[in-house]
Structure formats: structure tokens, C-alpha cells
């Protein structure tokens, strides 16, 4: 990608961002009540004030830690199950109901159950695992299903080292599915972790900060936190590529 293409890409993104920022401003003008829809400028100023407080980083760090733990356990668990599921059909069939249960169960039901079973700090992590696990598992299993078996047989005939086969043959085929599973998973993780935090109310959490802002009708803080969530989520998704 040359310089002009890169510049054009970012200019285009900047224009799109500017359009939606203007739409937000128009919404503020139409509603006419900052208690319902604050202006972009007031939200930015509020975000600046929040960023000067220690509590802001405590909330952000705690939620980020829960997302990382939830995603790590989801990905690790998915790998442990996807390999035998790919190799043995009966393993895949055995665990299909569990995956279907995770996919179809409403998030609120899972949060309510988690509140009965765990301390508030672990509720978001448990919910994150149950919501992200099937996404990662399904993508990885699909990726393994697309592997070229003829290439595998060819490598066996010529006695190519397994490590080289994995690095040069399998990984390029699997990478798009691994990246997709991580991108979808991390986006889902941020949403479900914060949703669980709103109900579980652990000591430090973005969800707790959102709930406090809502209780005290601090709409600008709510919008500021939403902006932070979107930015952090987008950064994490792009980092997964």
C-alpha cells in the first residue's frame, strides 16, 4: 500500500467520522435537552475530566482484565475441544447440544444464573466465556474443515517435518478463521462483560461507572463511557488482525 492510498484511506475515514459527528450534533439540536442527548463537545469535555481522575483508569483496567481473562479462557477452551471434535465425529456430535445451548441462551438469563453462582467480580468473566466460546469454537472448526487433505498426504509421502507443515501449509489456511474468531470474540466480549458488570456491580468496572452515571442522571458521563467503549473495542478488534 503506497502513501497516497494510505492518505486517501484515512481521509475517507475522517470524512465518515465527521458526517456521523454532525448527525450526533443535529440530534442534540433537535432534542434540545442535554439530559437526554448531550452535544459532542460537552461529551468530549466530560471525557477529558474523567481522564484526569484515577477512578477512570481503575474502572477501565478492571474491565480490560476481565475481557482478557474471559477471551483467553474461551480461546484456550475452544482449542482443547475443537481438535478432538475435528478428528472424531462422535466428539463433535456429543458437544453439539452444549454449543447450541451457549448460542441460543439469552445473555440476561446467563447473567442472572451467574449472579447466583459466583461473586460479582467473576460474573462478567463467566458470562464472557459462555458468550464467546461458541463463536471461537465454530470458526476454528470451520477453518479445520477447509484444510487441504491432499496437501497433507503429499507432505507425508515426502516426509516433510510436522513443524514446517504446520507453519507453511496449515497456518496460512487457518489464519483467516483464527483472526475472524478473535475479532468477533473480542467485540462480543466487551459488550457482554460490561452488560454483566452493570448488573453484578463489582467494585471497579465500566459497567458500575455506567450504572452510577445513570442513577445520578449524568448523561454526558454515560455518552463519554460509550465513546471509550467503542474506541477500546475497535482498537482490540484491529489488534487481532
pLDDT in tens, 51-107: 999 989 999 999 999 999 999 999 998 889 888 888 888 888 888 888 888 888 888
HSE at residue 191, side-chain half, CA atoms within 13 A, is 13
* Poorest-pLDDT segment among 28-32, 62-66, 171-175, 184-188: 171-175
- For 49, 179, 228, 239, the CA distances from 137, given in Å and listed in that order, are 41, 12, 29, 20
- Can you tell me whether residue 118 is helix, strand or coil? coil
pLDDT at 32 over 60: yes
DSSP string, 15-50: HHHHHHHHHHHHHHHHH--TTTS--HHHHHHHHHHH
* Better-predicted residue by pLDDT, 116 or 33: 116
pLDDT at 196 over 60: yes
Instruction: Report yes or no: 202 and 208 within 8 Å, Cβ to Cβ.
Output: yes
Instruction: Report yes or no: 123 and 196 within 8 Å, Cβ to Cβ.
Output: yes
pLDDT of residue 154: 56
pLDDT of residue 178: 85
Give the chain's length: 241
Residue 50 grid cell: 474523567
Residue 109 grid cell: 438469563
Residue holding cell 473480542?
A: 186
Residue 106 grid cell: 439469552
Question: What average pLDDT does this structure show over 107-129?
Answer: 89
pLDDT of residue 126: 92
Instruction: Report yes or no: 223 and 212 within 8 Å, Cβ to Cβ.
Output: no
* Better-predicted residue by pLDDT, 61 or 167: 61
* Spatial distance between the Cα atoms of 105 and 166, rounded to a whole number of angstroms: 36
pLDDT at 160 over 60: no
* Spatial distance between the Cα atoms of 198 and 228, rounded to a whole number of angstroms: 16
Q: How open is the CA angle 216-231-237, to the nearest 5 degrees?
A: 135
Instruction: Report yes or no: 75 and 133 within 8 Å, Cβ to Cβ.
Output: no
User: Whole-angstrom distance between the N-terminal and C-terminal Cα of the chain?
Assistant: 17
Percent of the chain with pLDDT over 90: 19
The mean predicted confidence, pLDDT, of the chain is 84
Amino acid at each position: 500500500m503506497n502513501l497516497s492510498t494510505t492518505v486517501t484511506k484515512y481521509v475517507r475515514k475522517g470524512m465518515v467520522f465527521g458526517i456521523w459527528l454532525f448527525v450526533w450534533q443535529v440530534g442534540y439540536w433537535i432534542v434540545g435537552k442535554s439530559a437526554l442527548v448531550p452535544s459532542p463537545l460537552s461529551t468530549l469535555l466530560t471525557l477529558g475530566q474523567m481522564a484526569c481522575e484515577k477512578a477512570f483508569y481503575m474502572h477501565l483496567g478492571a474491565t480490560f482484565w476481565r475481557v482478557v481473562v474471559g477471551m483467553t479462557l474461551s480461546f484456550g477452551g475452544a482449542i482443547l475441544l475443537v481438535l478432538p471434535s475435528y478428528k472424531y465425529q462422535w466428539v463433535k456430535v456429543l458437544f453439539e447440544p452444549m454449543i447450541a445451548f451457549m448460542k441460543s441462551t439469552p445473555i440476561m438469563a446467563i447473567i442472572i444464573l451467574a449472579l447466583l453462582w459466583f461473586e460479582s467480580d467473576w460474573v462478567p468473566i463467566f458470562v464472557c466465556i459462555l458468550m464467546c466460546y461458541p463463536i471461537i469454537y465454530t470458526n476454528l472448526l470451520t477453518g479445520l474443515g477447509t484444510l487441504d487433505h491432499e496437501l497433507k498426504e503429499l507432505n507425508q509421502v515426502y516426509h516433510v517435518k510436522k513443524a514446517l507443515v504446520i507453519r507453511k501449509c496449515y497456518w496460512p489456511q487457518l489464519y483467516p478463521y483464527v483472526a475472524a474468531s478473535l475479532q468477533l470474540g473480542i467485540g462480543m466480549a466487551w459488550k457482554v462483560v460490561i452488560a454483566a458488570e452493570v448488573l453484578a456491580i463489582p467494585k471497579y468496572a465500566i459497567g458500575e461507572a455506567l450504572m452510577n452515571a445513570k442513577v445520578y442522571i449524568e448523561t454526558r458521563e454515560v455518552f463519554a463511557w460509550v465513546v471509550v467503549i467503542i474506541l477500546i473495542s475497535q482498537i482490540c478488534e484491529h489488534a487481532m488482525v
